[in-house]
């Protein structure tokens, strides 16, 4: 049914299959055929145990397919991208009892194995209208898609396994308390000086006969004191969960068959609390606002209500000098850097590694204070020097610092006198440097010195390899041209 692809083979019969740089027959997609759902879970467990599914989630599609004979199997389709990824898929599929195929549209052939290191090619394409035609060295089968499986739903439907070892694990925890227990638990934590964040999540009423929404209190703890473990775990109405990534948590004492940390399939603002013992998971579609439990500590009011009043005095002047204060805000809009004279050598070395796009988009100005580089798309590609944040089209402030008082950028620009054609850089020492905008030239123009070159000759290789056709030129064969022929004739007669 299949032919092995040979080394240096150039023609393949399967549509959509071509040879990659290593000479391996590959299509744009890969398919893993698994006989049942439990094998699919096994495959996903194997995959997620060693690597995250992040790379393949964008193109991953899990379908239940049905053959002409009516038996259902599971296919897992994803972009092939490279033979490295496909090799790993094939190894895991083999371990999970599945087969791996590659192709582009409809016809898929068996992916390479030890018997055919360069892959397989079909000997003859069978015409079909089925959306998937799989060609294996042992069988050829056509499949229709029956149903698509959502990976997130599958993960929620899988029941966690009992794992007692997780009970003693230390680390952050989520606690979900039923409505009547929330307040008591808050005060218990406050009294016990346990640092925790608390929030209240709501769900619609469970049935039409109920009018009030279901409320549960959620706690987020960095660490549960050991003395509380048993109480929290065994109190009915309180469930303790171990976080598995940012959006999922599994009840303590249980473990999910698939590594949820490797499967970021749930919405980022949600939280899935997966419970063991056959209980349904708790879905928090939108995580509620969380606040420290200390906010619920008991307060005392002062008995004196009359406070001495101050009198307003005339203000002389409130003008203060501009300063820079460190800020913990995330770095944004970092579009400039100053490379000091000592770092210019590093910039020269870095220039060889910069992409053409970065070279084209970056401008540079040389000043006695160093070279200022600006790139509107972000200066991160040139990781050298002191970074600046663009506060205003004409003002740059040292990254990690904010001007205080926190006046508007336009006001700050006016305070500098609105200099036309000048870019003002304020560094962390509060030194202000104005650089003329006309001083900035594209980095690619500034990089190269005048290059010397020498001419050389070239050899015409084509003429060497393509020999011309022989052409006969006729000329007189000379005196007695037939003397050798005649001599032979005489010789043969003599013989």
Partner 1 sequence: MDLGERAESLAQEVIAPLVLGGPLTLQRPFGPKLALEVGVERTLLDHELSTRIDHARLRQARTVVAVDVLPGLGAAEWAIAAAFNDLVQVTNHELSSFATRNRHQELLEAAVVLCRAIPTSNSLEEAVARHATFSRALRVSRTDVDVTWWTGSDSFRGQEPPSRVMAWPGLRKVNITKQAVGLTEMSAGTPVVAQAFHQALSQWCSLSPLSDLASAARHAPQFAWSDHTLSIVASQAGCNLALRAFDHATNLEDTAVTKAVTAMNAAAAQLPTGSRAQALAVGYAKQLAAMDAFWDHAAGA
Cβ proximity of 119 and 5 under 8 Å: yes
- Residue 10 engages partner 1 in binding (rule: CB under 8 A): no
- Residue 488 engages partner 1 in binding (rule: CB under 8 A): yes
- What DSSP designation does 116 have? B
CB-wise, 124 or 129, nearer to partner 1? 124
CB-wise, 133 or 398, nearer to partner 1? 133
C-alpha distance from residue 87 to each of 4, 61, 139, 258, 477 (Å): 17, 19, 21, 21, 72
CB of 17 to partner 1, least distance (A): 12
- Residue 486 engages partner 1 in binding (rule: CB under 8 A): yes
CB of 491 to partner 1, least distance (A): 6
Element (H, E) at 121: strand 120-122
Give the integer Cα–Cα distance in Å for 272 and 283.
Answer: 5
Give the integer Cα–Cα distance in Å for 374 and 194.
Answer: 49
- Residue 460 engages partner 1 in binding (rule: CB under 8 A): no
CB-wise, 456 or 492, nearer to partner 1? 492
- What DSSP designation does 151 have? H
Select from 80-88, 316-324, 451-459, 470-478 the region that touches partner 1 (CB under 8 A).
Answer: 470-478
Select from 217-225, 408-416, 448-456, 467-475 the region that touches partner 1 (CB under 8 A).
Answer: 467-475
Element (H, E) at 390: strand 386-392
CB-wise, 107 or 256, nearer to partner 1? 107
Nearest to 433 by CA among 372, 385, 375: 372
- Residue 11 engages partner 1 in binding (rule: CB under 8 A): yes
- Residue 452 engages partner 1 in binding (rule: CB under 8 A): no
Element (H, E) at 83: helix 83-95
- Residue 473 engages partner 1 in binding (rule: CB under 8 A): yes
CB of 466 to partner 1, least distance (A): 9
- Residue 472 engages partner 1 in binding (rule: CB under 8 A): yes
SS3 346: helix
- Residue 236 engages partner 1 in binding (rule: CB under 8 A): no
C-alpha distance from residue 226 to each of 182, 342, 405 (Å): 20, 54, 47
Element (H, E) at 106: none
- Residue 38 engages partner 1 in binding (rule: CB under 8 A): no
- Residue 6 engages partner 1 in binding (rule: CB under 8 A): no
Residues 88-127 that bind partner 1 (CB under 8 A): 124-125
CB-wise, 4 or 85, nearer to partner 1? 4
* CB environment 146-155: b (16+ within 10 A), e (fewer): eeebebbebb
Cis peptide before 405 (omega within 30 of 0): yes
Among 457, 469, 493, 494, binds partner 1 (CB under 8 A): 469
CB-wise, 291 or 481, nearer to partner 1? 481
CB of 80 to partner 1, least distance (A): 22
Which residues contact partner 1 (rule: CB under 8 A)? 11, 13, 124-125, 465, 467-478, 481-482, 484-489, 491-492
């Amino acid at each position: 049914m299949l032919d092995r692809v040979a080394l240096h083979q150039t023609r393949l019969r399967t549509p959509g299959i071509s040879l990659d740089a290593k000479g391996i027959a590959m299509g744009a997609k890969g398919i893993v055929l698994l006989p049942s759902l439990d094998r699919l879970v096994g495959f996903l467990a194997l995959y997620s145990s060693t690597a995250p599914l992040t790379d393949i989630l964008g193109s991953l599609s899990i379908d239940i397919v049905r053959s002409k004979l009516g038996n259902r199997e599971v296919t897992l389709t994803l972009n092939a991208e490279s033979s490295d990824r496909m090799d790993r898929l094939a190894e895991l599929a083999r371990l999970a009892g599945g087969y791996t195929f590659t192709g582009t549209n409809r016809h898929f052939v068996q992916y390479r194995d030890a018997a055919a290191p360069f892959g397989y090619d079909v000997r003859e394409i069978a015409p079909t209208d089925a959306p998937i035609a799989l060609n294996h060295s042992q069988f050829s089968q056509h499949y229709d898609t029956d149903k698509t499986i959502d990976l997130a739903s599958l993960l929620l439907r899988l029941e966690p396994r009992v794992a007692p070892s997780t009970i003693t694990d230390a680390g952050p925890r989520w606690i979900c308390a039923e409505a009547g227990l929330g307040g008591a638990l808050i005060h218990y934590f406050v009294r016990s000086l346990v640092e925790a964040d608390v929030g209240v999540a709501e769900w619609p009423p469970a049935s039409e006969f109920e009018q009030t929404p279901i409320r549960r209190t959620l706690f987020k703890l960095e660490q549960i004191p050991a003395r509380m473990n048993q109480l929290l775990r065994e109190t009915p109405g309180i469930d303790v969960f171990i976080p598995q990534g940012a959006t999922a948590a599994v009840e303590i004492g249980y473990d999910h068959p698939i590594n949820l940390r490797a499967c970021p399939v749930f919405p980022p603002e949600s939280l899935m609390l997966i419970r063991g013992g056959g209980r349904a998971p708790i879905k928090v579609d939108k995580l509620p606002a969380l606040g420290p439990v200390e906010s619920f500590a008991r307060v005392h009011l002062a008995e004196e209500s009359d406070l001495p009043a101050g009198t307003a005095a005339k203000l002389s002047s409130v003008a203060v000098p501009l300063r820079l204060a460190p800020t913990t805000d995330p770095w944004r809009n970092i579009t400039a850097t100053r490379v000091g004279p000592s770092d210019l050598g590093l910039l020269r070395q870095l220039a060889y590694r910069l992409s053409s796009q970065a070279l084209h988009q970056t401008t540079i100005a040389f000043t006695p204070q160093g070279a200022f580089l600006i790139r509107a798309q972000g200066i991160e590609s040139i990781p050298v020097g002191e970074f600046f944040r663009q506060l205003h089209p004409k003002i740059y402030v040292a990254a990690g610092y904010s001007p205080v008082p926190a006046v508007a950028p336009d006001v700050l620009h006016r305070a500098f006198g609105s200099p036309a054609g000048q870019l003002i850089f304020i560094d962390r020492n509060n030194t202000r440097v104005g650089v003329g905008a006309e001083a900035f030239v594209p980095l690619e123009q500034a990089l190269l010195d005048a290059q010397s070159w020498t001419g050389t000759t070239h050899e015409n290789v084509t003429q060497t390899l393509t020999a011309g056709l022989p052409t006969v030129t006729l000329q007189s064969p000379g005196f007695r041209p037939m003397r050798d022929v005649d001599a032979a004739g005489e010789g043969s007669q003599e013989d």
